[in-house]
Chain A
C-alpha cells in the first residue's frame, strides 16, 4: 500500500485548526462605550416617579430573562398564578432559564462564563459573586442603587449598612444585591427529650453550665448511655454543634468557620482558630467528652446513625433545627417511644453572653448581568427588581400570593386559603401553594421584615426565634476586599490552615491530643503562614479604609 504522505497534510490541518481557534477567541470583545452613568436614554418602560410604598407598573409591556432555580418539590409551570398576577400588576413577564437545583451554581458559572447569562441571576449567596467581578460580566449594582428606593430604605431602617459594606470589592463597589433580614434568624441549637428531663425533675438548660449539669443527671440515670450523640458531620465534623457552641463563645466554628475574624476590641483581624474563645469552646466540649457525657462517635457518625440512637433511647439530646425537630425527631419519636417529648432550647449561653454572630442578616440575593446596562429599559429593570424583591408589597406577594385567592390575613397572621396546602399543612387539600400557584418560591421569597418571615413559623420555631432574635448581634467584619494577587495567595494559605484547624479541633475535643500541646498547635499554624494570612487581611482593611474613607 502506498503511504499517502500524511505529514504535510497533518500540518495543514493543524494550521487550519489553530487559525480557527484564534478566530474563536478573538471574537466576543463587545464595545461598552458611552457614558454608563447617563441613564436618560435607558428609561423605556420606566416610571417617572417611583418611590417606596408605590407599586411598580411598567409604562409598556416588558420582558426580562431570569435564571430560575427549579426546585424538585415545585418545578416551574407556565400556568402559575405567580406569572399571571405579576404580569397583571407590573406588566413584566419573564423569559425563564430553568436550572435544576442539583446543579444551579455550575450552570450559573457556565452561563456567565459563556457570556450567555440571563439578566437576572437570583439565589446568589454573598461571596459567590466574587469570581465574576474581574471579568466585568456582572453589574456593579452599587452605582445604581439610587434607582432602588425600597432597597435603600430597608438598608437604612434595618441598619444594614455595615453588612452591605462588607460586600464591597477592591474597587469599592458591590456587585450583589443581597437578600436582607430585619432580624437575624437562628437555625441550629440543642434539642432534648423534655419528658425524660421532667421525670428527673430537671429544667431545660439555658446556659452551657446547666447543659453539662443536665447531661450529668442523665448520665447517672442511664449510666450505659451517652446522653448526647450528635449529627451533621459533613463536611465539617460537628458542623452544627461547633457552630452554636462557638457562638456562645463568640467565635465562628463548625460550618461557619472562617480563618480570619474581626476582633472589635483590638480593631484588627485575628486568626479564629488561635483565639481564646476558640480554645475555650474546645475545652468545654473536651470536658463533656471526658466525662463521657458526649458520644465521641457523634463527631464522625452519619445523620442516620445519630437519629437512630435518639429513637432507640441510646441518647437523649441531639442538635436540631426547627424543621428536623418537627418533621424528623418528634414525628418519629412519637411513633416509636410512648409519651416521648422533644423540644429545642435557645442556644445555651456561654462566656460571650446573649449574642449571635454578625453577618447572619444577609441572605442569598441577586446579581445582574452587565448586559442589562446596554438595554433601553435598564431603569425599569432596576425599579422592577426593587419592587419585587425589596418592597413590602412585592415580598408579601411572592410569599403568600393574592389575598382572598391564595391566603387571608388577619391581625398580623397569615393563613392559606381553604383547599390549599403549604408544606403539608393540609394533606387532603387539592392544591398546593408552591406546586400549583408558584408562591412561597425560594427564587423570590426569602428574608424580609420580621413580621413576614415569622408569619410562616411553626409554634416551636416562633418560640425559638423570639428568644434568639432578642440577642445582641456581634459586629460584622468590616470590608477588606483583597486584590486579585492577594486573593490567589490567600487561597493557597487558607485551605491548609483550615484543614489543620479542623483536624486538631477534633483531636483536642476527643482527647487524642493533650491541651498542654496548645502552644505547639499555634506554632504549627505559624509554620503554615497563619500570621501572613492575617496580615494580608489587615493590610487590605487598612487600604480600603484609607481609599474609601
Chain B
C-alpha cells in the first residue's frame, strides 16, 4: 500500500483556483434563475425600474393569482402530468425492449434494425405528411398522438444499447443454465442491474415530454386537451401582444411585467424537484453509456 503524500503546494493552489472558478460558474448559472424567481414575486414598478436582482421587491402575487384562478390552467397542468406519465411509460417499455434486442451481437439482421432507427435520426417525413399520418390513424385529440410518434428517441436508444452491451455475457449465460428464458433474463437479471440507465432515461424522456408543446399544438383541437406549456405560451403571447383584456388595468400591467418569470417558475418547478432524486443515477448512467460506445 502506497502512503498518500500531503498535497503539494501547487496542487493546493490549483484546488483554490479551481474552487474559485467553479463557484463563479455556479453563480453565473444560478443567478439568472434566482433573478427569475425574484421577478415572479416582485411588483411591477420595481421590475420596470430594474431594481429586482436576487430578492423580490414590492412583493406581489397578482400574476400567480390570475394564473391559478383560471380553471383552464389547472386542467392543462393535469394534462401535462398525464401526457408525461403515459408517454414516458410507453417510451421506456419500447426503448428498453428495442435496446436490449439490439445489444445481442448474435442477432441476425441487427445492422438493419440499427439502421432503421438511425435512419429516422437523419430523415423525417416532414411536418405535413406526419400530420396526415397521425390524422388518418385517428390519433388526433388523444394522448397517443403525443406518445407514439416520440416513443423512441434514437439517442436514448443508442445510449441504452451501449449500456446493455457493457453487461458481462457470463451473467446471462448463467441465468440461461439456471433455466430462465429471454424475458426472465431481461426482467430478473438485466433490468435490476440497469437502474442507473433506466433512471437516466426516465429523466430524459419525462423532461422532454414535459417541456414539449409542438406536438400538442399540432394534434389537439380543443383548449381543454392542451398541456400547460401551450397554455403558458399563449398567455405570454396575449400579455405581450398588447391585446390583453379581461383583467383590470392594475392587474394588467402587473401581469405583463412578470408573466414570463411566473411561467418559467411554474413549468420548471416540478422537474427541478425530480432532479435531486435521480441525480446519482443520472451521472453514473450517462458515464456508463458513454464510455462503452
Contacts and interface: CB of A to CB of B under 8 A. Distances in A.
Interface in B214-250: 217-218, 221-223, 226, 230-231, 233-239, 241-250
B2 interface: no
5 contacts: A13-B112, A72-B239, A307-B48, A336-B45, A434-B246
A348 B106 CA distance: 83
Interface string B237-273: 1110111111111111100000000000000000000
Interface stretch (A86-94, A193-201, A324-332, A367-375): A324-332
A134 interface: no
A327 B48 contact: no
Residues of A in contact with B, size category: 35 or more
Given A73-B238, A336-B45, 19 more contacts: A6-B115, A10-B111, A24-B129, A73-B244, A100-B237, A101-B241, A102-B230, A103-B217, A107-B217, A110-B127, A110-B131, A110-B218, A114-B135, A116-B131, A116-B132, A308-B49, A331-B249, A423-B245, A424-B245
Interface in A288-332: 304, 307-308, 311, 323-324, 326-328, 331-332
A258 to B, nearest CB: 23
Contacts of B238: 71-73, 101
A101 B108 contact: no
Contacts of B108: 4
Tell which of B109, B128, B253 has the most Cβ of chain A within 10 Å. Answer: B128
Nearest to B108: A4
B116 interface: yes
A403 interface: no
A98 B248 contact: no
Given A107-B217, A114-B132, A423-B245, A13 B253 contact: no
Contacts of B9: none
A234 to B, nearest CB: 11
A74 B223 CA distance: 11
A371 to B, nearest CB: 15
Given A1-B105, A114-B131, A6 B111 contact: yes
Interface of A: 1, 4, 6, 9-10, 13, 24, 70-76, 96-98, 100-103, 106-107, 110, 113-116, 304, 307-308, 311, 323-324, 326-328, 331-332, 335-336, 423-424, 427, 432, 434-435, 442
B72 interface: yes
Contacts of B250: 331
Interface of B: 45, 48-49, 72, 105-106, 108-112, 115-116, 127-129, 131-132, 135, 217-218, 221-223, 226, 230-231, 233-239, 241-253
Nearest to B218: A110
Contacts of B248: 424, 427
A107 B109 CA distance: 41
B48 A424 contact: no
A324 B242 contact: yes
B116 A13 contact: yes
3 smallest CB-CB distances across A and B, nearest first, come from A72-B238, A102-B237, A100-B234
B207 to A, nearest CB: 22
A4 B221 contact: no
Given A304-B48, A332-B253, A98 B217 contact: no
A327 B245 CA distance: 11
Tell which of A75, A76, A115 has the most Cβ of chain B within 10 Å. Answer: A75
A102 B48 contact: no
Contacts of A4: 108-111
Contact of B247 (A98, A326, A424): A424
Contacts of B243: 71, 73, 442
A248 B243 CA distance: 27
Contacts of B222: 96, 98
A72 B49 contact: no
Contacts of B251: 424
B129 to A, nearest CB: 7
Contacts of A1: 105-106
Nearest to B129: A24
Contacts of B48: 304, 307-308, 311
A432 B246 CA distance: 7
Contacts of B106: 1
Nearest to A65: B221
